[in-house]
Amino acid sequence: MQAQLLHPISNPCNFFRIAVMILDEAPLFDPGLLAELDWSQNMVSFCPDISPVHPGAGLVLRPLCTSDLDRGFYKVLGQLTKVGDVTTEQFIKKFEHMKQSGDYYAVVVEDLNLGQIVATATLIMEHKFIHGCAKRGRIEEVVVSDECRGKQLGKLLLSVLTLLSKKLGCYKVTLECKPKNVAFYEKFGYVASDETYMQRRFSD
């Protein structure tokens, strides 16, 4: 009886555990949103010319999917901050939570020849009661893998998420950055606020 309970198929709970562990290509959000951006409103120049639809030879810009876990998504994020020991199950649960909320727009650049993620950034929608029940965008986790820096991918990601925040109806979009990166974000029209960013950490 006990052996039967432990069997993955005969025990519905175990079967569910297996089912949710499958990584796939389902996008976090509608990829059409990226293709439909009005690229003429982009504030920076690209040389050579690249765009969300044509990010460069062998590259694709698209929404995050769970299969990106096996394409080095965390390896890239690890170049920005501590990522922790995340299991596949934790990753999928978090992805599903973000997808169901409809407020998370994590984009990745994949090198199709390597099958690896080389850059990522995320736009998050914050819903307000103020400003006529407006939406504010927040850009987080902007990182380009060190071997791909200086190839305009950071500029591409920031341009895309800034335009996306406008398209999605945000009244403003904000981000926090280190002083050394201020000049990078100023290229896209961001200006330093006179407000001070404060935090209280409960863990690392």
Ligand X SMILES: CC(C)(COP(=O)(O)OP(=O)(O)OC[C@H]1O[C@@H](n2cnc3c(N)ncnc32)[C@H](O)[C@@H]1OP(=O)(O)O)[C@@H](O)C(=O)NCCC(=O)NCCS
Closest C-alpha among 168, 73, 61, 189 to residue 123: 168
* Shortest distance in whole angstroms from residue 192 CB to ligand X: 13
**Among candidate residues 111, 94, 108, 11, the one with its CA nearest the CA of residue 59:** 111
Q: Which is nearer to ligand X, 27 or 154 (CB)?
A: 154
Q: How far is the CB of 18 from ligand X (least distance, A)?
A: 36
**Identity of the residue, 153 or 170, whose beta carbon is nearer to ligand X in the bound complex:** 153
The binding site for ligand X (CB under 6 A) comprises: 80, 142-144, 149-155, 177-178, 180-181, 183-184
Q: Which is nearer to ligand X, 98 or 142 (CB)?
A: 142
Residue nearest to ligand X (CB): 154
Q: Report CA torsion sign: 142, 122, 196, 134.
A: positive
Closer residue to ligand X in complex, CB, 79/90: 79
CB of 150 to ligand X, least distance (A): 5
